[in-house]
Each structure stands twice: as C-alpha cells, then as structure tokens.
Structure 1
Amino acid sequence: MIFDLKAGFTFSNDLSKIKKELESFISNFNKKITTKDKTVKIQNIKIEKNNLFFSILSDGIFRPHNVLLQMKNEISKEFGKSYHLGVREIKIEGYNISFDLEKKPLKDIKIPFAEVKFKEKTATLILKDIDEEFLQHNYIDRMINRVNEKVENQYYEGKTEFWKPIWESGEKKPVWNKDPTEEMTKLGWLQQGPTKGKWFYRAQATAIMKTMEKIAIDEVLKPLGFEEIIESHIVPFDIWLKTGHLEGMPGEIYYVAEPASRDTQKWEHFIDLTKITKEIQIDELKKNLSTPTAGICYAQCPLIYWSFKGKTISEESLPVLIYDKTAISSRYESGGRHGIERVDEFHRIEPVYIGTREQLLKLRDKMLERYRIVFNKIFDLEWRMAWVTPWYMQQAGKISDESNQDTGTIDFEAYMPYRGDRKKSEWLEFQNLSILGDKYIKAFNIKAQKSTLWSGCSGIGLERWTTAFLSQKGLDPKKWPEGFKKYLHTLPKGIDFL
C-alpha cells in the first residue's frame, strides 16, 4: 500500500519567528517515526504566516493519518508552553491511498468518503473533504476492506449459493398437489392481513401452527435440555451492528420510530387534522416521530447473544441451551412473498446454544436425530438435508464449501407437490441448523471460566413447518400420519360467516 497525505496545521499565532525551531522539531520527529516504520517520510514542508504545510508518505504499517495526529499532539506539547502556540485546526488538502487487489475489478464501484479509481489490479482511494474527526475514527482501513470486499463480490454476482446434498428420505406419495395457503384461504382458515405480507390465522390454522410449536418443543428442545427465555421484539441498532444484520440486510428490516414526545400539546395539530379529515396526515405525523434507532425482531438470536455480552459463563452451565418463542420476526420480502411460507411477519422458535467445540458438535448430532424423528416418524415427509452457505456469508456475496468444516449451516428442504416435478421444482427450505464458531462469541465478548466457546442456532419457522407438512399431507386430518394425529386428530369447528 502507498499512502500520500497532504495536510497542514493552522496555529494560534504567526510562525515566522520560530521557523528554525519548527523545522528542527519536524526533522527529529521524522527520525523518531522512522524507528517504527522506515517508509514514513515527512516532506515538502512550508511555513506561511500561521500555517504549516507538509506531506506524509508511507508504504508500511504506520499510516500517515496516525502520524499526523501524533505529530499534532507532540507539536502542541513542545511549543505550547515555550511559545504559547497551539494547533487550532488540521487541514487535509488531499489523501490518496493505493493498494493491490487480488482480482481485477469487473466494473467501477462507489464507497462513501472517497472516489475509487482502478488500474488493472491496483485501486486508488482519493479522499476529499475530510477532517480531523474523520481521521480519529479510523475509517481508512475499513474503507480499504470494503473496496476489496466489493471487488470480490463482483465475481459472485449471479451465482447460486453453495449447496451440497448430504441426505434424503426417498420419494413419498403425496396426498394431494394443491397450495395449502390458497386452500386454507378458500375454507376461511386464513385471511390476508391488513398489511402486506401478514396473515390472520383463524382457529383451524392456529390449531395446526400451535401443534407445530408443541411438537418442536416436546420432541426436539425439551429432550435435549433447552430452557425457554422471553426476549423483546425491538432490537437496537448497536446490536445489529455487532451481528452484521445492518451491514448485510438493511433493506429487509422493519424500522421502529418512537414518538418524539408524549406531550399532547405537541400532538394537538395532528389530532385535530385526524378528527376533522378522518385521514392520517403522514407529513404531520413525521414531525412528531423520532429518527429510528431500532427495528423489529429479524431473528431472535441477536438479542439472546446481547444478554450474554461481557459475561463469563461457569463451566457447570455449559453448554448453554436456551430458546425463545415469543418474539415475532418481521422481514420485508417485497416481491418475494408467497403464501404463509414467504411472509413479512412470521412465528419462529429460536434455539441458541453456547459451549465448547466438542459440546456443540455432539449437540448437532443429537439435534439432527431429534429432527429426523419429527420429520420421518411424526410428519412422514419427503425431505432432504444439504450443506449451504451460512446467511452471513450469503450477505457478503461469498459462496464456499462448508461441508468439510465443523462450522456451517445445514438446510432441511421439503418437496412441495403443488410446485410440480420433484426433480425440477424448487423445494422449500423449512428448517436449518448452524454452528457459527466464535463469530458472535467474539462480537459480544462472551467468555467461559476456562473453555474456548462457540455458538450456534437453529431457527424453527412454524409457518414453514406447517406449509411443508400440509403441502404433502393435505388438510383432511383423517389422511394425516398417525404420528401427527397423536398431537392433533381433529380441528376446531371455527366460525361460519353469512
């Protein structure tokens, strides 16, 4: 990397009387800096009235902006007492950073704070309009990383994610080939919600969904020792920054805006307009809302990890096995919605596990066995398992083979007869199981007394379970597998509408 920073200091008084002293200081400072990094050079020094201009070059580990900040502190300390001089302002005239890329960019890219230029496999950042505060935040290295990441992503655009099958149940004859959401809607078991991507579940559909919840808890989680917790539906941005959700999928989050005030006088005009027009005056409403600082639950695991932030877990408590089933997840699906299996609002159980590598690998085997019992013996599904790219890698545009590693994600997919031929149609991903290594352990500084910790999760989507089951087994309880009928053999009568 080559760093070329052109900068200057504006002092509180004229510098002409101490020109020699300043030049001597800079020479000595430069010598001291080169003991840390021989590539650093401070040159092109000019003194004009109360301004000191110079450039800092480096192609080593010591960044010029760090040299600049250190130089400011030392020059103020050196000349403050003796000459009553202080640096009032740092001026950045230009900052160019050139670095090599692993691959040649396929097209131009943009990032905040800088213009990006490419020449073959070399990138140059041209930073403009930056100040001391910008340099103190140490954005530079993140900008370099982001350019590398975006160039790398160009080679994955349009490719499908990694998918490697590892097991399948074999073909099973479905009871029917209809879309369960459409049929339940016709029967009045479901009603499209008042806003897009949401559903109102009447008694019959609710009974099936609650049965799915009971089976998941009784057959998978309780036998393995998971304990239930209750978490908030609202997630602050700082948590999603740690988990990567705000970097990976900001366009899928439902954001929460708090009222700017509860003062009824401040809301009076909005209330008057609403009473008179019987309409919601959106522009007036916006005046009374705060800028969002949180969002509705995307998945339960971020808040669960937050609850362990900075804590040390006793060895006796390992592995930690907990789950939440109360927080409703919301994800903006836009044009991707379909039925109850692809919605903006859905109900899920999120088991999270924290323990040693060995503990989690054993747990994964046990969870796989419990899931097999449910999907084979209770649901009697036609389904399969595959190693896939974990969500956090998908969002970064990465496609990699996780099948030979301890960490990774296993997807469970069910054949959907109404979609057509099982070999040509898209199967439904209705369950997953992930071991994530120390990704979130490090992000939230979670520790054990002695052990090195890993974590993982296994989101259980109740709408997905319901759709997978009903797509193959139909809506008639008499035709359901005996294992399922032990949990639910008749449906509520429901309500007749005239």
Structure 2
Amino acid sequence: MLFELEAVLEFSNDVSGKKEIEELMESVNKELFKRGAPKGKEEEASKLKEWSTEGNKLKVRITSGRYVRAPDALLRLRSQLNLLGGKIKAGVRRVEIRRLEVKEVELGREPSEEVRVAFYVDRIDVKGDKADIKFSPSIPIDVIEAGGVDRIIELIIEKVERQAYEGKEEVKRLLWESKEKEVFFDKDPSAELEKMNWIRRTHSKGQFVYGRNFTSIVNAVKEILVEHLYKPLGFREMLFPKFEPWDVPKRSGHAKSIYPDAYYVMVPKVSNPKEWEEAMDYFRITGEIHKEGIMKKVEPVGILSYAQCPPFWQFLEGKVVREESLPIKIYDWSGPTYRNEAGGTQGIARVEEFHRAETLFIGSPAQVREIAKKVEDRLTFILDKLLELEIKKYSVVPWWMAQEGEKKMSDKEDEGIGTVDFEAYLPYKGERKRSEWLEIQNVSVIGEKYPKAFSVKSTGGELWSGCAGGSFERWICAFLSQKGFEKKNWPDEIGRRVKLEEEVKFA
C-alpha cells in the first residue's frame, strides 16, 4: 500500500525564508516521520519528498507505505510547526489537501461489482484484488484527524467482503430440534385474530391495537418467563429508554447500516408557536399535514429503539463496575421497539412496532457464557415442554453483525461468542420440511463489544455481555399457529393463566 499526499499549510503570517522551518523540514525524515514504525519497517514510514514556501503558505508532498502513513505525518508536521510559532511569529491556521491517493490497497478478493463510497472519495480503480483510491481534495482536515482515511480504506475492504455474502441464503447450522408436536390449526392466526376483533390494524404499517384476549395471552407469557426463567436465574427488572440519541447507535455500531430500517425522531429547531403558524394554518385550511413545511423546521436527533438493549448501556457508560456487583442480570419489557420492514409486514409475524422481553447479562467471560447457556436451556424448556411448541435451534450469524450488514458467522465462535436462534413451525405455511419457519427468539454471547463501545470496565478484569430477545407477537403467532384458538387444545401452563372473554362487537 502506497500513500501519496500533497497539501498546503496556511499560516497566520508570512513564513518565507524562515530558517526554523527550513531546519525542521530537513530533519523530519530522520526522526519525526519514522517514530512509531516497527523495527525493520522504517522504509515504509513517511518521507517528505518536496516542500516550498510562498508568502504565508507551505506546500508539501509526502509519501509513505503502511506505517506512519502520510496523513498522520502531515498532522505531526503541523504540530511541530505550531511549536515554532513563538519563534517564527506565525501559526498554522488552515490545512488544505491538494491530492491524496492510496495505491495497491489489498481487498482480500476481487469485487463482483463496482465499489462506491459516498463521501470524500472521487474514484476507486480496481485491479484484480487490489484498488487505487483517489480521495477528494475537499476532504476536511478534521476528518483526517479523526482517522477518516483509514476508516474509508476499511469501509472499502468491508464492502468488497460483504459482496461475497449478499444474495446468499442465511448462514446457519442446526443445533437441535424438538419432536414433532400435534397441531390443531392450519390457518394464518393473524387473519383469524382480526376476524375475532382480538387485534385491530392502525393507520400505521405493521402496527396493531391488541385487544383484551390477546393481551391476556401476552401477560400469561410474561408470567411464564418470570416464573421459569427470570426468578430461577436471579434476573431483576429494569426500564430501558425507547429513544436512542445519535451517540447510542454510533457507539453500538448500528450507525454503520441502520438507516433504511430506522424510525427517526425529529424535534423542532425552534419551539416558538409563531414559527409553526404556517403548519397550523395549512391544516386548518386543508385538513392535511404540511409535511414539506414541517421537515424544514425539524432536525433528526436520533431513532426509536431498534434493538432494545443499546440504550441501557448509558446507565453504565464510563463507569468501572465493582467485581462484587457482577454478574448483572436484568430484563426489560417496558415498551415497544421499531423497525421499518423494507421487505413488507406479515400480520403479527412481521410487524414494525413490536413488544419484546429483552434479557441482558453482564460479567466476566466465564459468567456470561454460563448464563447464556442457562438462559438457552430455560427458554428451550419453556417453548418445548411448557408451551409444547415444535421448534428448532440454530447457530446463526450474530444479530449485532447482521444488523451491521454482515452475513457470516462470528470468527470468535470457538470462544463462545455467537447467537442461537429459536425457530417455530407454522402449519399454515405448509409441510414441516419444506416451509419457512419463524424465528421467535435468540440468545447471544456478544463478548466485549458493548462494554468496550460504552467505555465500561470492571475491577475484576475483562468484561463481556450477552442478551436474549424475543417478541411477544412472534411467540403468540407461533403458539396460535400450532394450537389454534380453542383452549381445550392449549397446554395447561398457559391455558390456566388466560382469561378469554367476548371482545368488543361492531355493528
């Protein structure tokens, strides 16, 4: 990999003929630009190839290999020049990139289609499994300071790698399957629920109002989870926020790819009612919402909760957890999470506003692996033995990787990091062996991802986390698909907890 950079540093005063600058420029290749390069790799460090001054401007051309890269050398040079400020009576007030190219970037494989980056890249020339990247001269210096050049290179490599997985079927491995269970129903339960007025669609895509009978089933599932999962394993309930300011998806990693799937939260730029008089008048006159006018007066401040657990991490952010407080075992079902389902909604099996029991555990690697196994075993018992559902368990692409655009298994699977999915048979979809089953639950060991992202540490050493998530809509869809609506066919564990009554009748 070869970096070629041309830049202009603009000073607050004329720096032509300054001997201090000349002395610095003659010395940078000897020590400043080599500092930090591995022993034996000094030749791959940055080199100042040309420089000149004209008035208040210093022009430089820097090249490098992969160590002490040219953009980093430019930042080092700026710092040293500013240290001379008192002597030369001038400081660097602006840095302009004139040309930045990175050649022979190893991609790992030959791309199957064109690779593009939306910002700060003018052109990517691919030659087999390597690429030459021409950056935009408009790339701001603060982007370079934040490591933007390296991030762009990594992004291009990730995009090429992702092409190898896109369009392929989900990567998963069967771990276990229950015995075949007797089924008592073969229709789509969502359609039946609507006919019986147990649920009613709203004006929003993928959203329902859930009636008394459906809610009674939801509460029965909650009771079963508390009695057979949370209490025996020592979990305690917390309330997680359902709004994520931008810092949360930035830290969690969802900001890499969440945009087509998110529900955005907007707030007024100005709260003065007079600023909103136009929108008010428009509705009074037309009876419609002035969407175009509103969008000009609001700004996006974040998203509605997408994965449920990330907002919790603000509770621990920047803290050191005492070892005696570990493991932390908590759950939350205080409200819905939201996803824009680009592939379309399907009754209660695929909704955009869904209600989940989110199970979260934090501790040492050994503690997290042990708890994850116990949670998985308890969930298997509940679904297989208590609810008597026909299910399968798969090892799949970890959800946090899938939500960041990955379609491959975790490369740390041998350390216990990964996801187990529970899938349920839906008789109305067809034969068991040929039909699509419904994912209703997962259990994951995430590793250090979240503690590291939110700067959480432990006095006891390495800190990991894990979680389990499943929506009540999907659990109940699977249950009613197999057991139907007659309570005589329901297992006693849930039947005795549910009180069915006549729903509201309409004329």
TM-score, normalization by structure 2: 0.92
User: Which residue does the alignment assign to 2:2?
Assistant: 2
Is contact 1:416–1:472 with CA below 8 Å preserved after alignment? yes
Q: What amino acid does structure 1 have at the position aligned with 2:378?
A: R
2:241 matches 1:232 = yes
User: Which residue does the alignment assign to 1:372?
Assistant: 380
1:49 Cα offset (Å): 4.1
Corresponding pairs, count:
494
User: Which residue does the alignment assign to 1:464?
Assistant: 474
2:434 matches 1:424 = yes
2:76 matches 1:65 = no
User: Which residue does the alignment assign to 2:352?
Assistant: 344
Q: Residues of 2 paired with 1:374 and 1:221: CA distance?
A: 12
1:63-92 deviations in whole A, cap 9, x for unaligned? 2122222222323433x3344343343232
User: Which residue does the alignment assign to 2:101?
Assistant: 96
1:311-360 deviations in whole A, cap 9, x for unaligned? 22222221111111112111001333101010000111101000122222
1:45 Cα offset (Å): 2.6
1:46-57 matches, cutoff 5 A: 46-57=52-63
1:34 Cα offset (Å): 4.9
2:131 matches 1:123 = yes
Is contact 2:33–2:68 with CA below 8 Å preserved after alignment? no
SS in 2 for 1:23: helix
1:213-362 matches, cutoff 5 A: 213-289=222-298, 291-362=299-370
Q: What amino acid does structure 2 have at the position aligned with 1:277?
A: T
Greater shift, 166-175 or 390-399, is seen at 390-399
Q: Residues of 2 paired with 1:50 and 1:379: CA distance?
A: 77
Is contact 2:429–2:435 with CA below 8 Å preserved after alignment? yes
Q: Residues of 2 paired with 1:175 and 1:82: CA distance?
A: 88
Q: What amino acid does structure 2 have at the position aligned with 1:453?
A: L
Is contact 1:409–1:432 with CA below 8 Å preserved after alignment? yes
TM-score, normalization by structure 1: 0.94
2:35 matches 1:30 = no
CA pair 241-86 structure 1, distance change in 2 beyond 3 A:
closer
1:138-178 deviations in whole A, cap 9, x for unaligned? 20111111111111111112112221111111212210111
Is contact 2:33–2:73 with CA below 8 Å preserved after alignment? no
SS in 2 for 1:32: coil
> How high is the sequence identity, in percent, across the aligned residues?
35
Unaligned runs of 5+ in 2: none
1:43 Cα offset (Å): 1.7
1:303 Cα offset (Å): 1.2
CA pair 404-421 structure 1, distance change in 2 beyond 3 A:
farther
Q: Residues of 2 paired with 1:386 and 1:76: CA distance?
A: 58
Q: Residues of 1 paired with 2:271 and 2:71: CA distance?
A: 45
Greater shift, 414-423 or 318-327, is seen at 318-327
User: Which residue does the alignment assign to 1:148?
Assistant: 157
SS in 1 for 2:494: helix
User: Which residue does the alignment assign to 1:185?
Assistant: 194
Q: Residues of 2 paired with 1:2 and 1:432: CA distance?
A: 44
Which of residues 143, 148, 163 is equivalent to 1:139?
Answer: 148
CA pair 276-392 structure 1, distance change in 2 beyond 3 A:
same
Q: Residues of 2 paired with 1:259 and 1:83: CA distance?
A: 48
Q: Residues of 1 paired with 2:415 and 2:9: CA distance?
A: 53
Q: What amino acid does structure 2 have at the position aligned with 1:279?
A: E
SS in 1 for 2:30: helix
Unaligned runs of 5+ in 1: none
1:405 Cα offset (Å): 4.0
Q: What amino acid does structure 2 have at the position aligned with 1:458?
A: A
Greater shift, 246-255 or 413-422, is seen at 246-255
Q: Residues of 1 paired with 2:88 and 2:461: CA distance?
A: 57
Greater shift, 208-217 or 347-356, is seen at 208-217
Q: Residues of 1 paired with 2:306 and 2:478: CA distance?
A: 22
1:255-283 deviations in whole A, cap 9, x for unaligned? 00012333222222322222232221222
SS in 2 for 1:397: coil
1:248 Cα offset (Å): 3.0
SS in 1 for 2:29: helix
